[in-house]
């Protein structure tokens, strides 16, 4: 048994290293599992849980021993723990200390992350945004010039301007129209230059897009009546009722 205790105590420098690495709000303990009721044989000076040498295993530690978690892994890391009497939230990890494959002890590390958890909650509450959609509804840019360049750069990410078809360029103009970009003086020649076309061509694209949208809106407005005539009324009924 002394050889097991010596092996367990050989982990003391590692326990001190881990605790110091994580700062003053961290502690590391070494347990000898030969005595569950008095298992703690070492604890680092930063005793955030208030435990002492001679203390017992926790219920969770006993459970993972009984479940033989050590047979499939050398450690369990980053599970949450709580210290109810101080209302602390802990990030805990357990390393299984073995001797020729036989479990003889545990090295447990507890880091107090209470303030970090509270900070994250405050940040989430202060953001107060709808995260249901993956795409932002609004992009803030410095100027119309930047907006134009941003849209064109997005469309030419994998292609050169010369590779764009007339349909591609008209689509870019349509997107710019959606942002009312052409309401700003000087937009027409800038877009023409970036798309490598004439201002007259850009003007033609604008008219084509507006005409297409107008026709589409007109179709949407008249379609319900057409459907109603064809599906809800006998042939010729509507014409007779209007006489």
Domain presence at residue 62: yes
Q: Judge whether 95 and 79 are in contact, CB under 8 Å.
A: no
Do 96 and 161 belong together in one domain? no
For the cut 90, the answer to whether the pLDDT of residue 125 exceeds it is no
Do 110 and 7 belong together in one domain? yes
**If we measure between CA atoms, which residue out of 79, 78, 73 comes closest to residue 103?**
73
pLDDT number for residue 229: 47
Domain presence at residue 172: yes
What string of DSSP letters covers 110-124?
A: EEE-HHHHHHHHHHH
Q: Judge whether 175 and 191 are in contact, CB under 8 Å.
A: no
Do 114 and 169 belong together in one domain? no
Phi, psi of 33 (to 5 degrees): -80, 5
Do 56 and 155 belong together in one domain? no
Do 81 and 6 belong together in one domain? yes
Mean pLDDT of the 141-149 span? 75
Segment 65-98, tens digit of pLDDT: 999 999 999 999 999 888 766 788 999 999 999 9
Do 87 and 152 belong together in one domain? no
Return the percentage of the chain with pLDDT > 70, whole number: 82
Do 101 and 162 belong together in one domain? no
Do 153 and 223 belong together in one domain? yes
**If we measure between CA atoms, which residue out of 183, 156, 171, 178 comes closest to residue 208?**
171
Query: What CA–CA distance (Å, rounded) separates 237 from 41?
Result: 96
Domain presence at residue 185: yes
Residue 198's pLDDT band (cuts 50, 70, 90): very high
For the cut 70, the answer to whether the pLDDT of residue 224 exceeds it is no
- In this structure, what token pair is assigned to residue 203? 């003007």
pLDDT number for residue 231: 47
pLDDT number for residue 77: 94
| Residue 12 CB partners (closer than 8 Å, separation 6+) | 30, 42
Domain tally for the chain?
Answer: 2
For the cut 90, the answer to whether the pLDDT of residue 50 exceeds it is no
| Last residue in a domain, options 118, 153, 187 | 118
For the cut 80, the answer to whether the pLDDT of residue 212 exceeds it is yes
Pairing status of strand 40-43 against strand 26-32: antiparallel
Domain presence at residue 137: no
For the cut 50, the answer to whether the pLDDT of residue 129 exceeds it is yes
Q: Judge whether 68 and 129 are in contact, CB under 8 Å.
A: no
Range of the domain at 63: 2-118
Do 26 and 87 belong together in one domain? yes
The CATH number that applies at residue 64 is: 3.30.450.20
What string of DSSP letters covers the chain?
A: -HHHHHHHHTTHHHHHHHHHHT-TTEEEEEEETT-GGG-EEEE-S--TT---TTPPPPHHHHHHHHTTGGGT-SEEEEEEEEEGGGTEEEEEEEEEEEETTEEEEEEEEEEE-HHHHHHHHHHHHHH----SSSS-S----S-HHHHHHHHHHHHTSSS-GGG--HHHHHHHHHHHHHTTGGGSTTHHHHHHHHHTS-HHHHHHHHHHHHHHHHHHHHHHHHHHHHHHHHHHS-TTHHHHHT-
Do 150 and 79 belong together in one domain? no
Segment 51-68, tens digit of pLDDT: 899 999 988 899 899 999
Do 109 and 201 belong together in one domain? no
pLDDT number for residue 131: 55
Domain presence at residue 74: yes
Domain presence at residue 138: no
Domain presence at residue 207: yes
**Which of 145 and 188 is assigned the larger pLDDT?**
188
pLDDT number for residue 141: 47
- Has this prediction a pTM greater than 0.85? no
Block residue for tokens 């030419």: 156
Phi, psi of 82 (to 5 degrees): -135, 145
> Among 19-23, 127-131, 136-140, which stretch is predicted with the lowest mean pLDDT?
136-140
Return the percentage of the chain with pLDDT > 90, whole number: 48
Segment 6-36, tens digit of pLDDT: 999 999 999 999 999 999 999 999 999 999 9
């Amino acid at each position: 048994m002394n050889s097991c205790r010596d092996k367990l105590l050989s982990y003391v420098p590692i326990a001190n290293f881990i605790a110091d690495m994580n700062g003053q709000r961290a502690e590391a303990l070494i347990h000898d599992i030969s005595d569950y009721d008095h298992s703690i044989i070492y604890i680092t000076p930063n005793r955030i849980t208030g435990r002492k040498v001679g203390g017992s295993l926790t219920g969770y530690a006993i459970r993972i021993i009984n479940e033989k978690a050590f047979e499939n892994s050398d450690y369990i890391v980053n599970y949450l723990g709580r210290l109810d009497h101080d209302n602390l939230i802990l990030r805990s990890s357990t390393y299984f200390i073995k001797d020729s494959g036989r479990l003889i002890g545990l090295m447990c590390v507890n880091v107090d992350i209470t303030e970090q958890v509270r900070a994250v909650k405050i940040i989430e509450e202060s953001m107060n945004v709808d995260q249901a959609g993956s795409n932002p509804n609004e992009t803030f840019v410095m100027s119309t010039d930047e907006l134009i360049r941003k849209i064109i750069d997005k469309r030419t990410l994998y292609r050169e301007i010369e590779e764009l078809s007339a349909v591609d360029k008209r689509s870019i103009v349509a997107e710019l129209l959606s942002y009312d970009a052409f309401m700003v003086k000087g937009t027409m020649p800038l877009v023409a230059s970036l798309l490598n076309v004439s201002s007259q061509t850009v003007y033609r694209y604008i008219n084509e897009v507006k005409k297409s949208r107008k026709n589409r809106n007109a179709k949407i407005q008249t379609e319900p009546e057409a459907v109603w005539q064809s599906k809800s009324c006998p042939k010729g009924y509507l014409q007779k009722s209007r006489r």
